[in-house]
A and B are shown apart, each in its own frame.
Chain A
Amino acid sequence: MKKKFLILLSLLAIISDITAQEVKNEKKFFSSQISTGIVEGEQNTSLHVELLNGLRYKTWFAGIGTGIDYYYYRTIPVYLSGIKYLSPRNHSFFVQGDAGVNFVWEEDRMNNRNEISHEFKPGLYWNGIVGFATGLDRKNAFSFGLGYSQKSFQEIKEMAVWCFNPPCENTFETYKYNLKRLTLRIGWQFNYSR
């Protein structure tokens, strides 16, 4: 999982570098955004970091993003994102919607002694944000946003039973997580010409 994530980040960074040129009042251009912030939910307050790359056309943006989300379980969301800027000008409110898949990047943890193994399965990830972006110059913009996000995943635990005479079959428990959070995000946006 870690390796896949790093490869994905590298690819996105390479795409960003290749297309890095000055924006010249174009209606369609490549845009990249790095953002960070906190997610606040029932369990705790956690950090998230995201990288989003895509194409902007007039007041619309469509792209693909990924990141790290530390809320409850460390997860890697991979999602498609759409943004609508409410104004074509440098300073504008925007509405953003993300939807994709959420992978658990497992951390070491303590296991109960009768847990034999466990397996995580990915689940749905979505995020809705309203925010404000302000252009600092032709290719840099600062943004912040508030939103609401859900991430889901499953954990299947194989459990040993109280067994006097083996062989004994283990049993399975399934946990479904649907975690709901408010998100506060600040981001830096880079715009590039094609």
Chain B
Amino acid sequence: MRSTIKTLSFAAAFCLAGLVSFGQLKLPSGFKAETVGADLGRARHLVVTPTGVIFVKLNRPKDGKGILRLEDTNGDGKADKITGFANYGGTGMAIKDGYLYASSDMDVYRYKLDNNFNVVNPDQPEKIVSGLLNRHQHESKSIALDNSGNIYVNIGAYANSCQIQDRTKGSPGRMPCPILDSAGGIWQFRADKADQTYGTGTRYATGLRNVVGLDWNTQTNSLFVMMHGRDQLSNNWPEYWNDKQSAELPAECMYELHKGSNCGWPYIFYDQIQHKQMLAPEYGGDGKKGPEKEFQDPVVAFPGHLAPDGLLFYTGSQFPEKYKNGAFVAFHGSWNRAPEPQAGFFVVFVPFKDGKPSGNWEVFADNFSGGADKTASGRADYRPCGLAQGPDGSLYVTDDTKGMIWKISYNK
């Protein structure tokens, strides 16, 4: 019964009433969306400067440029001056104290900006971190900075569940999981120091399978991350989970991290229907057993496989009051729900009060896919990835399929 209720509430969120079409997107009443960039390539994370200049990181360089700079010089709302630099692909993009930070799948760079937010020396960035593991699975190194001169870098685990034979039916988990020494967590480095690597950084938090969306919350002064949960419960462990359960499980979790946080991957996963930590089947779990020792609980648990790729705490004042200090999460959309219908391809909002979620999450921007059938088949028109806040409090969203950037604003 409980699961029925949950499924229905997911359906409710999914087909949320009250969203109004605005071009491709569906938004709450009073909001509008405009495209400020299109056909940019695989647009991942982005930042918007106090003057409205956009920097966006591409997962694969386009015409040899891995970072694009978009500027609207005539004020018509469209970027008319697009330049690029950086010959590497990647995901991470951040801006802080006169520097633009960017990551490849192995390294983190920073570029000095002048007063007009032009990159001073685009061909000679300072390499601040290098040599991070890239084994072509969960390889993106997304980044966030705090207000104390630190940069946080995700190093995703190069496995689904740390099995002896990755992603193979019945293969047991390695104990202890050796991946956690160098991946499956968030590493902390100094934001202003060149040539750092594992030895000079700190493993800040562990037990995180793969994080793409992360943001520093200035209200709580802590790092929040969205973890991509494990795949293949029914595929590899059909004796414990059927396809329907495996489409919903495990939760995609939001965690608030502190130094030393351990979120439990690969030993556990979070079951958002039973509201508890479950022992992973690779480590003796059967869908009922919990771990002997609990790991950190999530602050929000979303339905499975939706693939959260962007996280942003909204600090602007353009949107109505309820959005202030709340979290936007961009869900790239699922694939591991098959043969069940796929889901996601939307941006959700979670209200926060005093640094904690204060209500249920709701779909904020929907229909990136282009319709229910395209969502179900996974053949989506667009897939939301990066989120950023503009100087006027507008919300920017990227798509890494066709390279769109939308600006969502509220009409008072």
Q: Do A and B come from one complex?
A: no
Binding site for B on A (CB under 8 A): none
Binding site for A on B (CB under 8 A): none
